[in-house]
Amino acid sequence: MIGVLYVSHGSRIKEATEEAITFIDSVKKKIDIPLQEICFLELAQPDIQQGVKKLIDNGATEISVIPVLLLSAGHYFKDIPNEIDEIKKKHPEVTFTYGKPLGVQPRLSAILNERIQETNISIKKDAKLLVVGRGSYNPQTKIDITAIGKALYETTEFENVEVCYLAACEPSFEDALQVALQAEHSQIFIAPYLWFTGVLERHIEKTAKEHNMNSDIIVCKHLGHHPFIQEALKDRVLETLTTEKV
């Protein structure tokens, strides 16, 4: 019997965990598989081992592990596979398929475009757009976020688009914002490439608020429960059902 395990990041903020669960539940309804469970990498329960155990206890013999992650980084390449390897030692009778993060997709860049439009603020000619990624030591992260920034440059009215990061990569969000303020742009739009609310989004909002007396800073909403991203995660689940087991 097939089971699906959704592995979300987890957060110490209750609202963020609840948002992730609500979102994944909306995707589960689109998947015609009775055994589907949600777990978290850190900071929330159940963890991966507990999620797998529940699926196995309910009869799963084939498990599709779906990383609820935007981009490929350490969690995808190291943390989740390490957990799966440990579980396989205990349950050699169970086969696993490992899905992919959402990656760079035009429909996800389109969500950022919509989030900008939802501010209902006209974009001035000298406006600056900061696309803010989580950041990672994996080089693919900068490649992906740069591609997203390029897509927004090509599909929005902004003539000045820059990508920046909340951790591990340069330029940092704080440095990029400071440079934009020093350049005296009449508007600075901030587009967080974040799936759910949480500590990082609150940090962006707090930092922007501290500087908003000196410039017109507009923080856009995170990706959230958009139908495009629901379909993107659904597609990642369906892909695993036709992928060779590991």
Please state, in angstroms and rounded to a whole number, the distance separating the CA atoms of residues 108 and 220: 15
Instruction: Report, at the CATH architecture level, how domain 106-219 is classified.
Output: 3-Layer(aba) Sandwich (3.40)
Q: Tens digits of per-residue pLDDT, 59-71?
A: 999 999 999 999 9
Task: Please say if the pLDDT value at position 143 is more than 70.
Answer: yes
Q: Which residue has the higher pLDDT, 95 or 73?
A: 95
Among 1, 156, 30, smallest CA distance to 93 is for: 1
The alpha-helical segments, DSSP class H, found in the chain are 14-28, 48-57, 74, 80-90, 106-117, 139-155, 173-182, 199-211, 227-240
Please state, in angstroms and rounded to a whole number, the distance separating the CA atoms of residues 148 and 29: 29
Among 124, 114, 187, 185, smallest CA distance to 152 is for: 114
Please state, in angstroms and rounded to a whole number, the distance separating the CA atoms of residues 186 and 159: 13
**Average pLDDT, whole number, for the chain?**
95
Please state, in angstroms and rounded to a whole number, the distance separating the CA atoms of residues 37 and 192: 28
The pLDDT of residue 245? 59
Average pLDDT over residues 32-51: 96
Q: Tens digits of per-residue pLDDT, 80-102?
A: 999 999 999 999 999 999 999 99
Task: Please say if the pLDDT value at position 23 is more than 80.
Answer: yes
100, 237 Cβ separation under 8 angstroms: no
Task: Please say if the pLDDT value at position 215 is more than 60.
Answer: yes
Task: Please say if the pLDDT value at position 243 is more than 70.
Answer: no
How much is the CA Rg of the chain, to the nearest whole Å?
Answer: 19
The pLDDT of residue 103? 96
The pLDDT of residue 20? 97
Q: Tens digits of per-residue pLDDT, 5-17?
A: 999 999 999 999 9
The pLDDT of residue 214? 62
The pTM of the whole model exceeds 0.75? yes
Average pLDDT over residues 202-213: 91
Residue ranges matching CATH 3.40.50.1400 in the chain: 2-102+226-240, 106-219
User: Measured in Å, how far apart are the chain's first and last C-alpha atoms?
Assistant: 16
The CATH class given to the 2-102+226-240 domain equals alpha beta
Average pLDDT over residues 184-195: 96
The pLDDT of residue 213? 72
Average pLDDT over residues 198-207: 96
The pLDDT of residue 232? 98
The pLDDT of residue 35? 98
Average pLDDT over residues 9-35: 96
Task: Please say if the pLDDT value at position 228 is more than 60.
Answer: yes
Average pLDDT over residues 27-43: 97
Please state, in angstroms and rounded to a whole number, the distance separating the CA atoms of residues 144 and 151: 11
Q: Which residue has the higher pLDDT, 209 or 246?
A: 209
The pLDDT of residue 244? 56
Interaxial angle between packed helices 199-211 and 173-182, expressed in degrees from 0 to 180 and rounded to the nearest 10: 20
